[in-house]
Amino acid sequence: MENAVALFGSFDGNIKLIEKEFNVRVTCRDSELKVEGDAENTSKACKVIESLLQFINRGEALSEQNIRYCISLVNEGSEDKIEQLAGDCICITSKGKPIKPKTIGQKRYCSQIAKNTVTIGVGPAGTGKTYLAVAMAVTAFRSKQINRIILTRPAVEAGEKLGFLPGDLQSKVDPYLRPLYDALFDMLGAETYQKYVERGNIEVAPLAYMRGRTLDDSFIILDEAQNTTREQMKMFLTRLGFNSKMVITGDITQIDLPNGAKSGLKDCIKILKNIDDIGTCFFDEKDVVRHRLVQDIIKAYAKFENTDINNLRNNGSKNNGSKN
């Protein structure tokens, strides 16, 4: 009975999503579920319900995102992949919340980070590229695999001219680094974060600060890498020291480089494709874990702009990290 309550959700919201998607009617009587509709849609609805019960039996709360994700997998005939999401907690936040991959793409991404020294994550906004990378970094730090977390991104304005920014140098670059701060605050809490910053265990800095350094025993994350030039990307990659990992994240559909400059992220995907210990993972709109409209917006823009993400996926990455 408890499973039925969790399955139906508040005001039967979960079941209404399934009913609307497949044009079926779902009822529960005497602890038995009954699904009514045409044969094909009824079969699909039953598969979604069985998949959602797997989440519930693992003690996970259902959300609109994972319901819609199950629906999309069933529509593709890939519902067997849902079992792959079982159990993988990669980090615990400062408030005790477990962080787990929510899609197959996210699980593949975390596996690539664990396996490779350098991992490139490419995909649209909302797919968890940065957040999961920070979670993996915090996990490595807590287990003493590394002794320093370094997060960086290029200070490129997103299509706007912000003009003069008041304050010292740190105040000027903080707005560009805010998403990285937010992820670290979530994982560690503000006080613990500040303690590690003062000790030098955590560093959040613009990409320009990386020049001339060798980064040993570190987990280094380059965010918004689509806004690096080829020269900047080469500089960053060659900072890699012993016992370190690098994660490079970006969205090639949102390049803000001035004067038509070429993106270092797009170049490095092609240049590094045949090097062992470098993995590439591509996300798509199905991996988005924000509001459902974000998926629709991404698909609409991709169709309108005819972006070259598929060319990069097919020609610039190794099979172990690309989406099938």
Give per-residue pLDDT as tens, 68-109: 888 888 888 887 777 777 667 889 988 888 888 888 899 999
How confident is the model over 46-66, as a mean pLDDT? Answer: 82
Mean pLDDT, the chain, integer: 84
Pairwise pLDDT comparison (319 vs 16), residue with the higher score: 16
Residue 159, pLDDT score: 43
Residues in Cβ contact with 64 at an 8 Å cutoff, skipping those fewer than 6 apart: 13, 17, 292
Domains in the chain: boundaries: 2-85, 91-315
Q: Inform me whether the pLDDT recorded for 167 exceeds 70.
A: no
Domain 2-85 has CATH 3.40.50.300: no
Residue 313, pLDDT score: 64
Residues in Cβ contact with 33 at an 8 Å cutoff, skipping those fewer than 6 apart: 4, 26, 27, 49
How confident is the model over 181-206, as a mean pLDDT? Answer: 90
Residues in Cβ contact with 215 at an 8 Å cutoff, skipping those fewer than 6 apart: 148, 150, 239, 240, 241, 244
Cα–Cα dist 18/254, whole Å: 33
Residues in the chain: 324
Cα–Cα dist 321/105, whole Å: 9
73-87, 146-160, 283-297, 303-317: least confidently modelled range: 303-317
- Domain 91-315: state its class: alpha beta
Cα–Cα dist 190/9, whole Å: 34
How confident is the model over 274-299, as a mean pLDDT? Answer: 84
47-56, 100-109, 135-144, 211-220: least confidently modelled range: 47-56
State both tokens at 74: 């069933």
State both tokens at 9: 């959700």
Nearest to 130 by CA among 251, 217, 26, 35: 251
Residue 255, pLDDT score: 86
Residue 170, pLDDT score: 59
Tell me whether domains 2-85 and 91-315 share a fold.
no
Residue 161, pLDDT score: 45
Q: Inform me whether the pLDDT recorded for 264 exceeds 80.
A: yes
- What is the tens place of the pLDDT at every residue in 121-133? 999 888 999 999 9
> CA 106 → CA 86, 109, 268, 312, distances in Å?
13, 5, 21, 19
